[in-house]
Amino acid sequence: MASARAGFILVPLNPNYQAKEMEFCINKAGIKTLICPHQVRKINFYDVLNEISPNVSQSEPGKLSCKNIPSLKSIINISEDPLRGTFNFKELLELATTDSIKRVKDNQHLIQPDDPNNLQFTSGTTGKPKAALVSHFNVVNNSYDIGKRSELDKMHHKICVQVPFFHAFGIVVVLGSALNFGSTIVIPSPTYNAQSNLQAIKDERCSILYGTPTMYVDLVNLQKQNPLDLNLKTVVTGGASCSPDLFKQIKKHLKVEKVKSIYGLTEATAGTFFSLPIEEDEYKATGTVGYVCDHLEAKVVGQDNKMVPLGTPGELCIRGYSRMLGYWDDEEQTKNMISQDGWLKTGDQFVLQEDGYGRIVGRLKDMIIRGGENIFPKEIEDFLHTHPDILDVHVIGLSHERLGEEVCACISLREGATLTHDSLVEFCKGKIAHFKIPSQLKILDSFPKTTSGKIQKFLLKEIFENKKN
C-alpha cells in the first residue's frame, strides 16, 4: 500500500530464492531498494546478498556499489539486528522529515490509474520466471471483482490466508479483495503450515479460506486424522487445477457450504474465471473453473489462431481491463503473449462452454505426444485421483525412442497404502484409452513445488529424464 501511494513499483520476491535466483530477479527488474528480514526459515538473506556480492557488508547504507547487482543501492533490514551496509527499518522511520513527507504527498496526485503498480514474477512452473508489469487500475479493479464473486460484500468475513503475498493469488485475490470490502485477514504463521492453518480456522472462526489444491490435500488429510470443529462458509481453490474428487473431499471433511474455483494468471493480474455467487450445481462447482469474470472477454482458438466452436478444446485467450502492461524489459516476449488487437494468450488448453463456464484441459506445454496421440495429463490425473490409495498424482511425459514420449504417473500414496505398476494398469484398463495408461510409475513422498504450492512439472521431468540417462 505504501509503495503504491508513493508511486513506487513493488517487486515481491520469493523468500526461498537462493543467491543465483535472487541475483537474476534483482537484475531483471533493476531493483534499487531491497526490503528484507535477516532470516526466514533457514535462509539468511544477509548471507545470500553477501554471496551475490561481498561489497554489501563493506558499503555504507544507501551507497551500495555491487558489480553483480549494479542497480541495487539500498537495503532496508526489517529485523532487530544491526547489519553493516543496511538501513534498519525502525531507524529509517526516524529519518522522515516534514519536507520529505510533503514531497511524497505532493507526488500522489501525479500517479495515474494506468501507471505501474506491481512487477510480479510468474511462479516458474515451466522454467525461469518472467516479470509481468501490472497497473494500479489492474490491481484495484480485479481485486474488487474477485471480492464480489467471493461474496465479501454480503457479510463481514474472516479470511484465513494460506497463500504467500509474493504472488498474485496472495496480493490481489486475498489482500486486495479484503481491503476493498473491509474483511479481516488471519495469518496463522510466517510460512505455510497446514496444522497452524487448520487450528487458526477453528480458533478464529474463519469463514473463508483460499488455497491451492496441494494445500487442501494437506488440510483434508489432517481433518481425517483429527477432525476440528470448523465454521467455514466458503472455500476457494486456485493456482492450479483441482480434481473433482478433491472438491468432494474438501466439502465433506472441511464441512464447508460452498466450494468455489478461481482461474487466472499473473499476466492477467490474477482472476479471469471465478464461480458465480449463486448456488451452482455439482458439475459447475467441481468440473469447471467458474464463469468468465465481469468486464472481460474470453475466446478459445485453434492452432490457426481462429476461434473454435463453443465446447471445443483450444488455447484460451483473454481481453480486458486486467491484462498486464507487458513483460518488464522484454518486448519480444510481450509481443508473443499479446496480439495486436489486445488478446492475451494464456498457454492453457481450455474448453469454453455455451453457458460461459470454462474447463481446463491442461497446459499446452505439458501436453504429451505419444506415438502421434495428443494426451493431456489433467485428464489422467483426474481419473487416477479416484483410486482409493492415491493421495496425489501428477502426470508427465518422458522421452521414448519409438513413441516420442511415454506417460509417467508420479504418485504419492495414502498412509499405509502400496501400489504396483501392474495393479495401476489393471485399475485403468477399460476406463481410459490404452495409450493414456501410464507405462511408468514413480512413487514419491513429495513433489517439487513453488512456494505458492504449484507443482513444478518441469523439475519432475528433469529428475526422471536424468535418471534414465
- 296-301 and 314-320: which strand pairing? antiparallel
- What CA–CA distance (Å, rounded) separates 363 from 68? 35
Domain spans of the chain? 14-108, 121-363, 367-468
pTM of the model: 0.81
Q: For 218-265, where are the E strands, in sequence order? A: 234-237, 258-264
Query: Cβ contacts of residue 403 below 8 Å, gap of 6+?
Result: 370, 371
Do the two domains 121-363 and 367-468 of this chain adopt the same fold?
no
Residue pair 18/114 in contact (Cβ under 8 Å)? The answer is no
- What CA–CA distance (Å, rounded) separates 398 from 464? 8
Check if CATH label 3.40.1390.10 holds for domain 121-363: no
If you classify domain 367-468 with CATH, what class do you get?
Answer: alpha beta
pLDDT of the chain, 469 residues: tens digit per residue: 889 999 999 999 988 788 888 899 999 999 999 999 888 878 888 888 889 988 888 888 889 988 899 999 999 999 888 888 899 998 888 888 999 999 999 999 999 999 999 999 886 555 567 899 999 999 999 999 999 999 999 999 999 999 989 889 999 999 999 999 999 999 999 888 999 999 999 999 999 999 988 889 899 999 999 999 999 999 999 887 788 888 889 999 999 989 999 999 999 999 999 999 887 777 888 789 999 999 999 999 998 999 999 999 999 999 999 999 999 999 999 999 999 999 999 999 999 999 999 998 878 888 888 877 778 898 899 999 999 999 999 999 998 887 888 999 999 999 999 999 999 999 999 898 888 999 999 999 999 987 667 788 889 989 998 876 5
Residue pair 89/81 in contact (Cβ under 8 Å)? The answer is no
- What CA–CA distance (Å, rounded) separates 48 from 75? 13
In 3-state terms, the chain is what percent helix, strand and coil (to 5)?
35, 25, 40
- What CA–CA distance (Å, rounded) separates 79 from 96? 19
